[in-house]
Amino acid sequence: MSHMISHSRRLRDTPFTPGVEAAGVKGYTVYNRMLLPTVFESVEADYHHLKTHVQVWDVAVERQIELNGPDASRLMQMLTPRDLSRMQDDQCYYVPVTDQRGGMLNDPVAVKHSDTRWWISIADSDLLLWVKGLAIGAGLNVEVFEPDVSPLAVQGPKAEALMERMFGSAVHDIRFFRQKRLPFASTSFVVARSGYSKQGGFEIYVEGTRHGMALWEALFKAGEDLNVRAGCPNLIERIEGGLLSYGNDMTAENTPLECGLGKFCCPAEGIDFIGRDALAAELASGPARQIRAISIPGEPVIPPRTAWLLFKDGLRAGQVTSAAWSPDFATNVAIGMVEAGHWQDGTELTVETPQGARLARVQERFWA
């Protein structure tokens, strides 16, 4: 079923919206109360292009939370089970953020500028309110606010070539999940080697809405012969790569261990954070369910808009939350949360789709 999106100020445009719409965006989702493009030519055509060339993505919806002040690092560590004590000033960390029960409130990327200044590049929840509420409730000495920063991603096999033309050879020195401030026109931007695809690339943290379209246009001009196009996070490619989507594949009902993020959880090392006791208990008992790659062989499915239930011999065994037909792997690729006892590689389950029951096979690994 196809529905129109009703535009209003509440569904915020981004600094790049004029470029996105001139490029012929066909669909949007809403993410952090802001427009996120979902399709340009078609999800499949966008997918093939992303894997072959280079795309510029409006990911301004990755809003930033700035923590600025003497207690910034203390507050940042309160938010996450991941040990931040050895993090360097140019590093970016993927950090699960947990509540007191160990439920995931967001799965952002923390960008460290210094011990007294951090950005949190957030997934789809108003994490600003959580961080501000904690800071005020606990009386910490830190400013917490949303700065005028809008990430623009450059993704795909030719991303490095395009970025070199734009920012010079300094881009080659940026290692994975590291960042560096590089000049652009009369200003400069934080540039990180990161992004929500497995095709390689960068995210440019555009500070100042007024610079948005200048950068957008400069990238398209510089990349003309690289076949650069406007793109967006691609449903098929991100499932193949096992990139989780907060709100789809996990919610506040799930813990980092359930999300397969155990390697970022180190409550035994004396780190103090919210949810520590709950996580310690879960580490002792093991998670009750876990994220898995799931293949659904046969005809292409229509991607889910609600969770599809998984069954084993008629009993609940979990749910599938993201699924799409993969042209490259010639199967439906999916992400699901599978109950303990059923998550071994090769386990065959039944998934209830709106178009009927289908075979669902649990896999050890994602596709890419």
Report the DSSP pairing between strands 229-231 and 55-58: parallel
Among 59, 110, 135, 338, binds a second copy (CB under 8 A): 135
Position 340 contacts a second copy (CB under 8 A): no
68 binds a second copy (CB under 8 A): no
* Rounded distance between C-alpha atoms, residue 99 and residue 304, angstroms: 28
Stretch that binds a second copy, among 60-68, 107-115, 132-140, 257-265 (CB under 8 A): 132-140
Nearest distance from C-beta of residue 85 to a second copy, angstroms: 22
CB of 146: closest distance to a second copy in angstroms?
8
Interatomic CA distance for residues 153 and 46, integer angstroms: 15
Q: Is residue 2 at the binding interface for a second copy, with CB under 8 A as the rule?
A: yes
Residue 138 CB contacts under 8 Å (≥ 6 apart), including other chains: 78
Nearer to a second copy, 28 or 202 (CB): 28
Q: Residue 160 or residue 240: which is nearer to a second copy going by CB?
A: 240
The residue within the footprint of a second copy, chosen from 30, 266, 280, 288 (CB under 8 A), is: 30
Does the protein bind a second copy through residue 355 (CB under 8 A)? no
The nearer residue to a second copy, 10 or 86, going by C-beta atoms, is: 10
272 lines the binding site for a second copy (CB under 8 A): no
Number of C-beta neighbours around residue 139 at 10 A:
7
Return the axis-axis angle of helices 159-167 and 212-222, rounded to nearest 10°: 120
One DSSP character per residue, 143-166 reads EEE--SEEEEEEESTTHHHHHHHH
- Judged by CB under 8 A, which of 86, 263, 305, 365 binds a second copy? 305
- 203 and 152 in contact (C-beta within 8 Å)? yes
Between β-strands 315-326 and 308-312, what pairing exists: parallel, antiparallel or unpaired? Answer: antiparallel
Contact call for residue 100 and a second copy (CB under 8 A): yes
Assess contact for 271 and 98: CB atoms under 8 A: no
Q: Within its chain, how far is the Cα of 70 from the centroid? A: 29
- Among positions 25, 67, 92, 191, the unique one binding a second copy when judged by CB under 8 A: 25
Between 8 and 186, CB nearer to a second copy: 8
Q: Which residue among 58, 124, 203, 258 contacts a second copy (CB under 8 A)?
A: 124
What are the CB-based long-range contacts (under 8 Å, 24+) for 244-247?
244/107, 244/291, 244/335, 245/123, 245/322, 246/104, 246/106, 246/107, 246/123, 246/124, 246/125, 247/123, 247/124, 247/125
**Residue range at the interface with a second copy (CB under 8 A); choices 22-30, 197-205, 254-262, 326-334:** 22-30
Give me the DSSP letters along 55-70.
Answer: EEEE-TTS-EEEEEST
Q: Which of 50, 127, 142, 349 binds a second copy (CB under 8 A)?
A: 127
Closest distance between a second copy and the C-beta of residue 303, in Å?
7
Q: In this complex, which beta carbon is closest to a second copy, that of residue 45 or of residue 136?
A: 136
Distance of CA 143 to the CA centre of its chain: 25
Q: Is the distance from CB of 156 to CB of 53 less than 8 angstroms?
A: yes
**What's the min distance (Å) between Cβ of 185 and a second copy?**
24
Interaction of residue 125 with a second copy, rule CB under 8 A: yes
In angstroms, give the least distance from the CB of 122 to a second copy: 11
218 touches a second copy (CB under 8 A): no
Q: Does 21 bind a second copy (CB under 8 A)?
A: yes
Tell me the site size for a second copy, rule CB under 8 A: 53
How many angstroms separate the CA atoms of 152 and 60, rounded?
Answer: 6
Per-residue interface string for the shown chain with a second copy, residues 235-264, x marking contact by CB under 8 A: ----------xxxx----------------
CB of 362 to a second copy, least distance (A): 20
Smallest CA-to-CA distance from 190 within 240, 138, 118, 238 is with 118
**Chain residues in the site for a second copy (CB under 8 A):** 1-11, 13, 21, 25-31, 33, 38-39, 99-100, 105, 124-127, 129-139, 245-248, 274, 303-307, 321-322
